[in-house]
Structures are given as structure tokens and as C-alpha cells.
Amino acid sequence: MEPSYIFLTMAVTLLSMPATGFGQGTTRVGFYSKTCPRAESIVKSTVESHFRSNPAIAPGLLRMHFHDCFVNGCDGSVLIDGPNTERKAVQNSLLRGFEVIDDAKAKLEAACPGVTKGINWKVPTGRRDGRVSLQSDAAKLPRFTDSIESQKQQFARFGLNTQDLVTLVGGHTIGTAACLVFNYRLNNFTNGGPDPTINPSFLPQLQSLCPQNGNNFRRVDLDTGSANKFDTSFFTNLKNGRGVLESDQKLWTDVSTRTFVQQFLGEKGVRKLNFGKEFAKSMAKMSNIGVKTGSNSEIRRVCSAIN
């Protein structure tokens, strides 16, 4: 199967590429058509190569993109490696895919010196890299225990609405999570028992995958039964009480977000939304958070800590 162009989107978003002049705070499709016309094809072939060797790269890049944009905007600051940088924060300790970015960057620099099916869209480019990367800033990221109200507030500060929230969380259709981020729900959540929002028929499956005193770093599919397809089954699982993360399951239990889940599922009585089309729109919208310009940015070629 050919990997989705979505992962090219994230790779291009995070990469530094040579450009003439400074950005104006926005991105556009075809930004590198003159300065580096092969840019997209180079990144695409690199991502495809890594994906064929390790399909887990797909959700890894998706998560990395989200973690970058929600801390000081989409400026590649999560890529910077060094003491006390964003990359070293606990919230980013399980991020994957840095080697894909490094590989693509190297190939881009050489060309221009100085099993998942999915959706695709034209990628606006033209971002510059931020100069600041602080471990403490990762505390701004949404947490897997957050209430819907808290999640909505965090998204709203970046100009993203409730529909964007539900849509982007839907990216978990291809994601995984380590046991350590949800095993608290399985045994001693309330009154010594499991989280009551977990379907009783689903609970034994999760408990067997993540037993008490087991391997906290074992990874579990967030979209049980359809982890390798970019589809709406993730939302079906939420409806059936089979959400792995507490924050995900709340999309169904909270009335303000449930409507959008129902729209993506095409339920009777609500206006149907096309998940693929809406995801593309929300990704493009998120990709324009805090686009850097001028002296507060740079075209970074080496992702090492700033001294």
C-alpha cells in the first residue's frame, strides 16, 4: 500500500528548506517551486522509504507535528536536540520519526544547498525555523487527562475551534500509546475500580495488554481493530466506549464534542461531515500557527541546541 501524502505534509512542515527572502507570516502552496522545485518529491520519496521499513513512522510524524505547532507555533523547535530543549521534555519523550526528518533534510540540502491508505492535500510551505526551544514550554501541550473544556481552551488560543479539536484528535486513527499514559484507567480509577466509561467487554483486552506491574512502555493501538487505516473507526470506538485515552473517550461523553463525532459517523439526524476533507482543512489550519518571520527565525540546517 502506498503511504498517505499526509505524512509528506508533516515532513515538509517541519523541515527547513532554502528560500529567497523572508516569509510574511503565512504559507502557500508552491513556495519552493522556483528555489527548490524537487523539494516535495525528495521528501515524499524519503518518507515512503522509511514508511516501508517501519509503518509506525506515520503516526509518529503526525504526533510530532502536533507537538511542534502547539508550542510556540509550527517552527520546528521540537527538532532541536540538546539539554533543556523541548525535545527533552517528558511530554516529548515518546516522540518518533526524528531520523526521517534528518534523512530528508540531508537530501534536500544536497539537492538545494543553503501499510496505510490516507488522504492528501496541497501543502502550504514557506515556514522558517524558530530560535527558541525550551523544555519547560512543553507544559503547554494538551494532556491525556484534560477535560473537554480545557482542551477547547487550549485549541482556541491558536484559533482552532471545537470541530478542529475533534477532527485533529481523530488522527489517533493511526496512532499508538504507551501503557503508562492510560493504565491508571484500568484498575484504580474510581473507588478502586476501572474507569466506568470503558466498555466492560473492552476492559479485559486492555488489562491483558497492560497488566499491573507490566511493561509500561508497551504500545497499544488507539484505534482498536483498524490501526493501519485512516478512517472513521476511531470515532466508532469512542461511541462504543472503546477509547484508549481518557481525553479521547471524553469526545463522546461530552455533549459539545459528541455532535462532531456523530457527524463524522454520518448518524441520522445530524449533518454528515467528510472526515478526510475536514482533517485536511484542520491540518492546514494548524500548520499556520505562529509562522515565524524575519529576525525571530532562521533557516536551520543543523538541529543542535542553541548556545
From 50, 67, 105, 250, the catalytic residue: 67
* 65 annotated ligand binder: no
DSSP assignment letter at 96:
-
71 is in an annotated binding site: yes
SS3 state at 129: strand
Pair 51, 16: CB distance under 8 Å: no
231 is in an annotated binding site: yes
Cβ density class 56-95: b for 16+ within 10 Å, e for less: bbbbbbbbbbbbbbbbbbbbbbbbbbeeebbbbbebbeeb
Is 40:123 a contact under the CB 8 Å cutoff? yes
* Residue 142 among known ligand-binding residues: yes
The answer to whether 146 is a known ligand-binding residue is: no
| Nearest residue to 134 (alpha-carbon basis) of 85, 81, 71 | 85
Q: Say whether 129 counts as a known binding-site residue.
A: no
* Residues facing residue 29 across a β-bridge: 124
75 labeled part of a ligand binding site: yes
* CA–CA distance, 259 with 175 (Å, rounded to integer): 23
50: annotated binding-site residue?
no
Told to judge if 65 belongs to the known catalytic residues of this protein, a careful annotator would answer no
Residues catalogued as catalytic: 67
Residues at the binding site for Ca(2+) are: 68, 71, 73, 75, 77, 86, 173, 223, 231
